Amino acid sequence: MSSYSFQTSAEQVAQDCQDAIANKTVLVTGVSPGGLGAEFAKVIAIHSPSLIILASRDILKAQQTAQEIANIAPGVATRLLELDLRSQAQVRNAAKEVLTYKEDIDVLVNNAGVMASPFSLTEDGIESQFATNHVGHFLFTNLIMEKLVHPGTPCRVVNVSSNGHQLSSIRFHDWNFDEGKNYDPWLAYGQSKSANMLFSVSLAQKLGSKGLISVSLHPGTINTNLARGDWSEMYESLGMGHICILCTSTRVLPEWAERDNLEDYVARGGDACIRRISSIHHHTSLAENNGSFVQDCTVLKPEEVRSWARDPIEAEQLWKLTEDIVGETFEY
């Protein structure tokens, strides 16, 4: 990983990883055109994966991405999966469908998400960001675990998190923001991103011995459809700390970003994110750093990550909390 820089293209990394991509079955959530999931799928498609499963709550948008893949890699099989992470019932239906597949899954990329959305509760009574970004992925991943973990073949689970995890730890005392009475969209986002990281910690602890490698990552700053709606009022309420956390790396901006402009930095960030995801599922040192957090194609040291997002005790506490939320236990 360290041989790559922020400016390395996603295509270059995918080329380097082509042996690890070929003949693999990859499932990606959140694949609307223009999003990270769709771009990742297109980048790996030209290197002959066996099957790309495109999971989305909007099946028409998934079809558009499938067509884009067919245009650039006509020999690659795709399959659509309707997956609405906001609904536990729908997540269970999607998982049941996956369990009927004849193929095992080599790589699962939990990419779908929302950011800083206005307060709302799902049909299950869960704050929407926590439900979409964490609870839905937790339930889906565990329900299809028999398709992921299979003897003799390693698998990868990539949880797309964010430097936004620095905004909040898990609010175990009030994870639902008192039904919206004290809701802060950025704290809710930060909580959900910390949850993504702790989920990888738990998966590594519980299933690492069975060949599962899970990492979380910061995708960079990218111009996608993740953030929708009118942010003008939100920006007025933000301090510089929020902006620095969400719009840059924890490191200083590279000289070329300062020399050029932030828009160019953001545009290159999309390539960087796809590069990071692409590089993860072949990198052997990740087995030694199972459960880690990846940024700029580098496994960060523990001291470079907020303690609440890497603490195994908090990871287990979150696992138990989420089991309570979904009404099912998962023991391995």
Per-residue pLDDT of 114-150, as tens digits, reads 999 999 999 999 999 999 999 999 999 999 999 999 8
- Domains in the chain: boundaries: 10-322
Give the pLDDT of residue 70.
Answer: 98
Burial string for 175-214 (b: 16+ CB within 10 Å, else e) reads bbbeeeeebebbbbbbbbbbbbbbbbbbbbbbbeeebbbb
Residue whose structure tokens are 């590089």? 279
Angle CA 37–195–305, to nearest 5: 95
pLDDT of residue 47: 93
Question: What pLDDT sits at residue 249?
Answer: 36
Amino acid in position 104: D
**Is the Cβ–Cβ distance between 268 and 262 less than 8 Å?**
no
Q: What is the pLDDT of residue 219?
A: 79
Q: Under CATH, what is the fold of the domain 10-322?
A: Rossmann fold (3.40.50)
Position 153 scores a pLDDT of 87
Q: How far apart are CA 272 and CA 245, in angstroms?
A: 17
Positions in the chain short of pLDDT 50: 1, 222-224, 226-276, 281-282
pLDDT at 271: 47
Tell me what pLDDT residue 220 has.
64
pLDDT at residue 72, rounded to an integer: 97
Looking at residue 8, the DSSP 8-state letter turns out to be: -
Distance CA 222, CA 278 (A): 16
Q: How far is 237 from 211, CA to CA, in rounded Å?
A: 45
Q: Could you tell me the pTM of the whole model?
A: 0.84
For residue 306, the model assigns a pLDDT of: 87
Catalytic residue among 189, 235, 265, 332: 189
Q: Residues 191, 175: contact at Cβ < 8 Å? A: yes
CB atoms within 10 A of CB 297: 21
Angle between helices 185-207 and 312-326 (to 10 degrees): 100
332 is catalytic: no
